[in-house]
Amino acid sequence: MIRPLSISALRSALLGTCLLLAANVFARGTGDLGIVIERADGSVQVVETSTNSSLGRIEGLGDLSHASAVYSRDEQFAYIFGRDGGLTKIDIIDKKIVKRIMQSGNSIGGAISQDGRLVAVSNYKPGGVKIFDADTLELVANIPATYGDQGLQSKVIGLVDAPGQKFVFSLWDAGEIWVADMTDVNKPVITKFKDIGKNPYDALITPDGRYYIAGLFGEDGMVLLDLWNLDAGTRRILDGYGKGEKKLPVYKMPHLEGWAIAGNFAFVPAVGHHEVLVINTLDWSEAGRIKVHGQPVFVMARPDGRNIWVNFAVPNNDTLQVIDTQSLKIIKTLTPGKGVLHMEFEPRGGQVWASIRDEDRIAVFDTETLQQLVTFDAKKPSGIFFTSRAHRIGL
């Protein structure tokens, strides 16, 4: 016998149905979202690539003068690494801070582990890497970058995630590369590679997660580490690329993280030169040099590898140049505005966003026609980070 529902049970069922319908009305995916760092105001804008527009702002994130971000696997949460040592977890759907901690005196970036459970931060002061639970931001491991007989601590740069629950990073002062295996968070296994060269300043990991490449600021050259064959040690590549040439003053440190791998070539900025260096990734030999407008800062490949976009340090930071990866020729020079700091390609590469800091705006370009599509206001924008980064190694 089927008994009729009581009035209270019927009300509960109706309420549940209404709540479910309301949730479905307001639910949305995260795949077309991202954030723009507003460095001067300690805020981020939440943006949407489907309409190329801003959805709102989250404030109270501290010093974002050199901030970067990574995403949780579900793309809902971004982890912001501030220059003041702040680590902030934000919810980009609800546009709010979930938790914020001050984990050091000066930090320079971070990464999220392969399984999405650990967030690592590279620190200048005190030097080292701290690793946190991605859910709670509770500290789970502290790796001081101690080196030498006197127990000095080095600034850490070039921190990336790698397959196998690993983090890889470089020590600026020590001239070393460390690989931290976090399979057991209670017993991190650290492999150290010493005497790699003077002042590694930044690094990238190839899209397949195999090769870690650190640039050297104190020398003309780069260092390659094959993460599949750690016993082989490090290898110098592009050694002495500026030999016999007068190096210009460096107005802004070049960045390697961001990938400029296209086919069998890697494209990297030359320190103190108006050149983009081309590397053959089959044997890691120099394959060419491309003269460009100024000192390159970011050298970034469109997702399909068809062209490379380059921005520049002062006094040439109002310019973008586009390089064809087949001919290795510059096919377009754009002048979108003063203070072009950062670029980010939409996931399929049809459009690229650029932050125009000194004009307080974002510009979006079509990557086929190379024409500006739209521009909108932002407060001293710098880094742009889309949620597609959640599913890519080393970004």
pLDDT tens for 289-330 read 999 999 999 999 999 999 999 999 999 999 999 999 999 999
pLDDT digits (tens, 9 = 90+) for 190-217: 999 999 999 999 999 999 999 999 999 9
pTM, two decimals, is: 0.91
> Whole-angstrom Cα distance, residue 379 to residue 384?
13
What are the sequence ranges of the domains in the chain?
104-251
Residues in CB range of 49: below 8 A, 6 or more apart? 32, 33, 34, 346, 347, 351, 386
- Distance of alpha carbon 72 from alpha carbon 117, whole angstroms: 8
Write the CB contacts of 244 (distance below 8 Å, at least 6 apart in sequence). Answer: none
CA 283-286-288 angle, 5° bins:
135
Q: pLDDT grade, residue 395 (50/70/90)?
A: confident
Which three-class secondary structure state does DSSP give residue 100? strand
Give yes or no for residue 20 having a pLDDT over 60: no
Average pLDDT over the chain, rounded to an integer: 92
Q: Cα 154 to chain center, whole Å?
A: 21
At residue 253 the predicted structure's pLDDT band, cuts being 50, 70 and 90, is confident
By mean pLDDT, which of 248-257, 298-307, 308-317, 331-340 is the weakest?
248-257
Identify the pLDDT of residue 27: 80
pLDDT band for 242, please (50, 70, 90 cuts): confident
Instruction: Report domain 104-251's class.
Output: mainly beta
Q: Is the pLDDT of residue 248 over 90?
A: no
pLDDT above 90: residue 251? no
Using one digit for the tens of pLDDT, what is the confidence trace for 92-103? 999 999 999 999
Q: Tokens standing for 118? A: 């650990």
Please report which helix (H) or strand (E) contains residue 28, including its range. none
Looking at the predicted structure, is the pLDDT value of residue 1 above 60? no
Does position 8 have pLDDT exceeding 80, yes or no?
A: no
- Report the distance separating Cα 187 and Cα 222, nearest Å: 31
pLDDT value at 15 more than 70: no
**Residue 21 φ/ψ, nearest 5 degrees:** -65, -40
Residue type, 232: A
- Note the Cα 306 to chain centre separation in Å: 21
Place of tokens 């990297």: 268
Q: Which of 270, 254, 344, 363 is nearest to 301 (CA)?
A: 344
CA distance linking residue 155 with residue 201, whole number of Å: 10
